[in-house]
Chains A and B, each alone.
Chain A
Amino acid sequence: MDILKNHWYKILAVLLILYVLIVGMITPLKTGITNVAPDRFMAGQGLKISVTGYNSHYQSSDDYQAWIKFDSTHHVAANNMQVIDENHIEFTFGIPDDLPFDSDYGYASLILNSEMDGPSVLPDKLYFEKSTSKASGFNWSKEAIKLDPSDKGFKFPYRNILNETIRNTFFHVAIWFAMFFLMILSLIHSIFYLSNNKFVQDIKASSYADIAIIFGLIGLATGSVWAKYTWGTWWTADVKLNMTAIAMLIYCAYWVLRGSIPDVDNKARISAVYNIFAFAMLIPLIFVIPRMTDSLHPGNGGNPALGGEDLDNRLRAIFYPAIIGYSMLGYWIASLNIRVKKLRDKLFL
């Protein structure tokens, strides 16, 4: 199959990106808790809360349990449950008055569980205060919290701030990885040009860098849109965002540099050296500095990366093919540019 031998990666890129698009957008999310009312209570009293769920089957499953968890050893199980409809349920608790903390207030988590839906958590949203009354008669639950396994079926994790936007992982994050792959290719060809002075290496280095910079700008734009819907703003004074913008500005200066030198050989040599410098700046700016200080962006100082429960194996099944698909697509577009430039600059080859 001659087509497959020369063009296998193009077909693979198209298929992988279509797979990521279709499966990534259609797969539902796991059950989550969107709202709890009221979300403040005082210790030592009875409490009736009304819970709103997402993708929940409160009516269809008949074994829903709820706990309010204060820390790893203190939790209270619900006394009573009343189902309103598939997305609304009410629980009644009796909160003991001997809270195990020194301060007078804090935040507790709500945990729901059923066999059909699996566990769902609303972490650290229930505000509690110590009360002055004593002897409420309520006690801590002695039984441990038992949760059904949370990995039934092909569903994506539910995170309260992200909700459905967790699907952006296959687009925003994958594009950055593909950009990195193309920048490494560009760096390799720049080093080749400096070592053996063949003009075709300069053509390749600049083409890969072009597509990589475009992917980087796409990554910044998609990240900005994602931020608007989760953080509430298009941009923020955050380390990772600022450092990444600086790295992209350094690479845009590569374009300015290439455009400003008329002599072809000079242009090739100076831009090859600048490319090496720009890549050497990319590593500390994007990876090292943001992890050294607090950042809002996942994966850097103070935030766990999309790992653990956030990037579970179902997301990975679509995330890794997305990286491969975008890298191949970028390679294909760059190869087309290279062929055009080779035809145009035949004299110099």
Chain B
Amino acid sequence: MFNKTIYKIAAFLLFFPFQMMAAVDSDFLRSTGKIYSVVVVIAILFIGIVISLVRLERRIKEMEKSDINE
């Protein structure tokens, strides 16, 4: 579907910080061990908002295409 380069760029961006994490102590993870759950939760919320926007966009496109005035 999309070009492979987009997947490569996304994978690089997503996996880049994990290489840094390997060098960091577990002491820091005590404060950020739970940060992953926070990140996942906020990412889910954001993706939910994006999905609702995409559905809204599709419905508006349908309305624009139909000849009935809304």
Contacts and interface: CB of A to CB of B under 8 A. Distances in A.
The secondary structure that dominates the B interface is helix
Nearest to B66: A343
B53 A18 contact: no
Interface residues of A, number: 30
A14 interface: yes
Interface string B13-57: 110111011011101100110011011001100110010010011
A18 B39 CA distance: 10
Interface stretch (A40-48, A101-109, A123-131, A333-341): A333-341
B13 A26 contact: no
B21 to A, nearest CB: 7
A180 B21 CA distance: 35
Nearest to A335: B57
A26 B36 CA distance: 7
A26 B32 contact: yes
Interface in A329-349: 332-333, 336, 339-340, 343-344, 346
Contact of B46 (A18, A60, A340): A18
Given A18-B43, A153-B23, A336-B53, A23 B13 contact: yes
Contacts of A333: 53
A164 B20 contact: no
A87 B30 CA distance: 13
Given A22-B14, A154-B20, A333-B53, A28 B32 contact: yes
Given A28-B24, A339-B64, A344-B70, A21 B39 contact: yes
A14 B60 CA distance: 20
B15 to A, nearest CB: 10
B11 interface: no
A27 interface: yes
A344 B53 CA distance: 19
B43 to A, nearest CB: 6
A27 B17 contact: yes
B17 A26 contact: yes
Nearest to A31: B28
Query: Which of A26, A333, A344 neighbours the largest number of chain B CB atoms within 10 Å of its CB?
Result: A26
A147 interface: no
A55 interface: yes
B68 to A, nearest CB: 10
Interface of A: 10, 14-15, 17-19, 21-23, 25-28, 55, 57, 60, 86-87, 153-155, 164, 332-333, 336, 339-340, 343-344, 346
Given A26-B17, A55-B28, A86-B25, 8 more contacts: A23-B16, A25-B39, A28-B24, A28-B32, A86-B27, A333-B53, A336-B60, A346-B69
20 contacts: A15-B10, A21-B43, A22-B14, A22-B17, A22-B39, A23-B16, A23-B17, A25-B39, A26-B21, A27-B20, A28-B28, A28-B32, A87-B27, A153-B20, A154-B20, A336-B60, A339-B60, A343-B63, A343-B70, A344-B70
